[in-house]
Structures are given as structure tokens and as C-alpha cells.
Amino acid sequence: MARQSGIIKLKGTIGDITFYKSKDGYLARQKGGVDNERFHNDPKFQRTRENAAEFARAGKASKALCTAIRPVLNKTQDSRMISRLVKSMMQVIKADQISNRGLRNVLDGELILLQGFDFNGNARLSATVYAPYTTAIGRATGVLEVNVASFVPDSQIVAPGGTTHFRLISAGVEVDFENETFALAQSSSAEIAFDNTASGAISLSNDIGVEESTKPLFLVFGIEFLQQVNGTFYALNNGAYNVLSLVLVDTGV
């Protein structure tokens, strides 16, 4: 891959070179690849086939997780989130100590490695929310919760300019990666003024309605920044500064 230089930028294909625009600028790459039959049958590509199979599983699992938490995930913006999540999911798969290479999967891997993943890489929970909180997953009851102690917003929340209010948001989800189904519950606080008035304790409880689950359970927690104008609350900068993090994972193992 090469970066285009000069005043005139090209898009399209000339000979074996493809010119295109990406988020990293105008780039160029040489066309190439292996024909389908050789890829699937040539022993030289055995490792490549194994890597491709595991990468596909990582992509499928990432999609399943994102689909499950879509209602809260939609409050954030990060164009690179999927690629970051797939990379983390690959680490989960590579931690599988049971399956043969090429057959490793997320359920036999270490899903706990996803704990702490920030869905908005530009707004991390650890650098935004300094209010003390605890998390818990009740597998027997199907209740996943975040409990936030009393805090002072303007000294314990790092908010972008223009913020007048914010909400704390949470969701609990059970994900069936094999069948790509899920059970979701979400909650949020009321709008909280961004000032120096101490808040009361806040409990965000998510009852997914599944008792004694045998599937992986995930708890996410974040913050949604708002601006109040004439009594109406608006998402600040379309959610670019909103935070959402995977704060607790229970694999059931």
C-alpha cells in the first residue's frame, strides 16, 4: 500500500494498480490475490485458511455483540469501533486452549478479555467518569446492574464544551453467539445538570428476564452528554463524545 502524492489525486484502476480514497487519505495498491480453487485446496495456504476461518468467527461474534447492544451503541460514534472490536475478539479466539488451530472460537476462548473495551475509542470511560461505581451480574436472577455513589458532576465528570446536562446509561445482555440471538435490558438515569451540585446515589438495573442463564452475560455502562435549549434536550455533537464501555463480563464458566 502506498500513499498518493502530488496535486492531482487518482481514483480507479490503471493496469494492476488501484487508486482509492480512505480515511487515511489517497492510497494506491497493486491488484493481486490467489484464485479460489487454489486457496481452498493448496496445502501451502493451510495456515491462511485457518486464519481466515478464525477471523470470520471473530467478525460474526463482533456483529452479534453489537447487534445485541444496538440501542445504547447507537448513542456513540466511532468509525473504527468494528475493526477494534474484531481485533479484540481475535485475541479472545486465540486464547482458546482446547480447539485446534482454525477451529478456535469465542466460547472456548477468553471472553473476559473484552472487559474494559470502549466502544467509542475517542471517549474512554476511565478518562471521563471519575464518580465511584460498582458493577454486578446476577446470573441466577438475570439482573445486571451498575450502582453509582453520590458525586459532584463538574469535578468528577469530564464533559465536552457545551454540555449542560448528561445521562448515565447502562445495558445488560445475554448473547447466544452460536444462534446469534440475545436478551437485552437497558436503563438510564434522569437528566443530570452538569454543575457543582452533588447527585444522589444512582442505580442502573437491567433485568434481562432470563434466570440461570447458561450463555455469556455482558454489562455496559456509559454517559450521554446533552445540551438543553429552550427546555428541550439535544444530543451533543451527535454523540461524538458519548462514552460506552463493557464494564463486566460473566462467561458462566
Q: How many C-beta neighbours within 10 Å does residue 243 have?
A: 28
In a shared domain, residues 137 and 179:
yes
The predicted pLDDT at position 8 comes to 53
Backbone dihedral angles phi then psi of residue 74, each to the nearest 5 degrees: -65, -15
Strands annotated E in 31-153: 133-138, 143-148
Residue at 94 is within a domain: yes
In a shared domain, residues 84 and 14:
no
Q: List per-residue pLDDT tens for the chain, 253 residues long.
A: 555 455 555 556 665 567 667 766 766 665 666 556 665 565 666 788 888 889 999 999 999 999 999 999 999 989 999 999 999 999 999 999 999 999 999 999 999 999 999 999 999 999 999 999 999 999 999 999 999 999 999 999 999 999 999 999 999 999 999 999 999 999 999 999 999 999 999 999 999 999 999 999 999 999 999 999 999 999 988 889 999 999 999 998 7
Domain span at residue 10?
1-32
With cell 447507537, the residue in question is: 74
In a shared domain, residues 109 and 220:
yes
Residue at 37 is within a domain: no
Residue at 39 is within a domain: no
In a shared domain, residues 96 and 169:
yes
Cα–Cα distance for residue pair 96/82, rounded to 1 Å: 22
In a shared domain, residues 121 and 14:
no
Give residues with Cβ within 8 angstroms of 183, minimum separation 6: 142, 173, 174, 208, 209, 210
In a shared domain, residues 67 and 174:
yes
Q: Are strands 143-148 and 17-22 parallel, antiparallel or unpaired?
A: unpaired
The shares of helix, strand and coil residues in the chain, as percent rounded to the nearest 5, are 25, 35, 40
Residue at 196 is within a domain: yes
In a shared domain, residues 92 and 200:
yes
Mutual angle of helices 81-94 and 46-68, in 10-degree steps: 120
Domain count, the chain: 2
201 residue type, one letter: A
In a shared domain, residues 71 and 193:
yes
In a shared domain, residues 8 and 122:
no
Cα–Cα distance for residue pair 167/191, rounded to 1 Å: 5
CB 168 within 8 A of CB 223: yes
Residue at 122 is within a domain: yes
In a shared domain, residues 150 and 69:
yes
Residue at 168 is within a domain: yes
What 8-state DSSP symbol labels residue 100? P
Which residues are bridge partners to 223 per DSSP? 168, 243
Alpha helices, H only, 11-45:
36-41
In a shared domain, residues 196 and 237:
yes
Cα–Cα distance for residue pair 88/32, rounded to 1 Å: 28
Residue 251 is placed in which grid cell?
462467561
Residue at 195 is within a domain: yes
In a shared domain, residues 137 and 190:
yes
Residue at 102 is within a domain: yes
